[in-house]
């Protein structure tokens, strides 16, 4: 624990500032798997492996890691039943639901834009090739 010249200011909020708390949080949410995990949980609670199947391509390690970060930040709730075999259910907290709602809105815009993006890319590549 060093308290040297670099002050890790606890309450910088503007995302555009470096060392800002909100950036770290935002990166958990907008990270490669964070977005997909939250969007999946927006459809309802999931058990670990069900979530893993839903979010196609994620490894055990990354899903566990992502879920832990989101749980620590208070966006995801983890409910473990101490049975054998273990049953663990993940769901959104109220705050997680708020975030997830914004994400699904974003995803919808993106999905509806897929064809236009394909066109835009073709134009860009054609122009660059010339």
Q: Which residues bind its own copies (CB under 8 A)?
A: 10-11, 13-18, 21-22, 25-27, 29-32, 35-36, 39-40, 54-57, 71-74, 95, 98-99, 102-103, 105-107, 109-111, 113-114, 116-121, 124-125
Is residue 81 within 8 A of residue 87, CB to CB? The reply is yes
Distances (CA, A) of 33 to 58, 59, 60, 100: 7, 10, 12, 13
Residue 115 DSSP SS3: helix
Residue 9, classed as helix, strand or coil, is coil
Mask for 61-90, x = binds DNA (CB under 7 A) = xx-x--xx---------x-x----xxxxxx
| Residues forming the site for DNA (CB under 7 A) | 31-33, 47-50, 57-62, 64, 67-68, 78, 80, 85-90
């Amino acid at each position: 624990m060093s308290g040297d010249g670099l002050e890790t200011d606890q309450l910088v909020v503007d995302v555009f500032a470096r060392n800002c708390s909100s950036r770290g949080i935002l990166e958990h949410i907008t990270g490669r798997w964070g977005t997909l995990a939250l969007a999946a949980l927006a459809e309802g609670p999931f058990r670990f492996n069900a979530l893993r199947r839903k979010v196609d391509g994620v490894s055990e390690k990354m899903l566990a890691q992502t879920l832990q970060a989101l749980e620590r930040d208070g966006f995801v709730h983890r409910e473990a039943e101490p049975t054998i075999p273990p049953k663990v259910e993940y769901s959104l907290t109220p705050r997680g639901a708020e975030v997830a709602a914004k994400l699904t809105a974003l995803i919808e815009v993106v999905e509806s834009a897929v064809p236009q993006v394909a066109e835009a890319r073709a134009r860009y590549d054609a122009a660059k090739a010339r």
